[in-house]
Homo-oligomer: A and B are copies of this chain.
């Protein structure tokens, strides 16, 4: 289920909640769940609600959310040079499939992910806190 743009923000406004820059960043992140966004697009989205927000605020809010383990940082196999992508941490671990032709991003799940994690913990005595699985290639339609 994909959220419509701005629908959380409207709901909050109607209840008298003031939208601060930080809140706007958080809302925009939540509303783009399922499609990781880079900082530039995130800023654009945020500015639709609060036009004067600066990129500094976007980066600082992301940093805050990362520290609390609420946001994942990806780079989708360097799809866009140095840019990073962000999304709310999903309930269940995902594989990001990145189509190198059309740019589609598929978020896939698999029980093997959890097994792989346990495997690593057992075999190497490693305590896993965060993990990221990205695969590049060609999606069904681009072959």
A interface list, Cβ under 8 A from B? 73, 75, 77-78, 82, 84, 95, 97, 99-100, 106, 108, 110, 112-113, 115-117, 119-120, 123-140, 143
From B84, B99, B133, contact of A133 by CB (8 A): B133
Q: Quick check: B134 and A129 within 8 Å, CB to CB?
A: no
| Closest Cβ neighbor of A131 among chain B residues | B135
| Cβ contact within 8 Å between B136 and A133 | no
User: Counting chain B CB atoms within 10 Å of each CB, which of A117, A128, A132, A135 scores highest?
Assistant: A135
Q: Are B136 and A131 in contact (CB under 8 A)?
A: yes
Question: How far, in Å, is A119 (CB) from chain B's closest CB?
Answer: 5
Nearest B-chain residue to A115, judged by Cβ: B112
